[in-house]
Amino acid sequence: MNKRLLPRLRRRLQVWLGDRPAYTSDVSTGGFALELMATLRPGTMVHGELQVDGQAMPFTGTVSWSKRAEPRLQVRGRAGIRFTGIAPGFFDLFR
């Protein structure tokens, strides 16, 4: 059973959270799943930029869920980011 209300696109986009790079594993109009070496706590407010076709799209969001990174084992953490704000051009990906 699929609990998701919004369709997801499997896209690997670069994300910058301040000076930390990360990558998406999927995106939707409501947010994205993020892979990074740090661990983010649910409820944390984040802001940064998504790189889409060479264009920086600023966003703000909230961490909905996270799975811990294991840096000693080179295992990336994962987090779900729910948008609270995103550049309007981002939605053109879903047309």
Sequential pLDDT tens for the chain (95 residues): 445 566 677 888 999 998 888 999 999 888 999 998 777 899 999 999 999 888 889 999 999 999 987 767 767 789 999 999 998 888 777 66
State phi, psi for 21 to the nearest 5 degrees: -85, 150
DSSP for 65-80, please give it: EEE--BGGGTBPEEEE
Residue 88 is predicted with a pLDDT of 83
> Does the pTM exceed 0.85?
no
Residue 74 is predicted with a pLDDT of 67
Q: Which residues pair with 91 in a beta bridge?
A: none
Alpha carbons 25 and 12: distance in angstroms, whole number = 5
Tell me if residue 88 falls in helix, strand or coil: helix
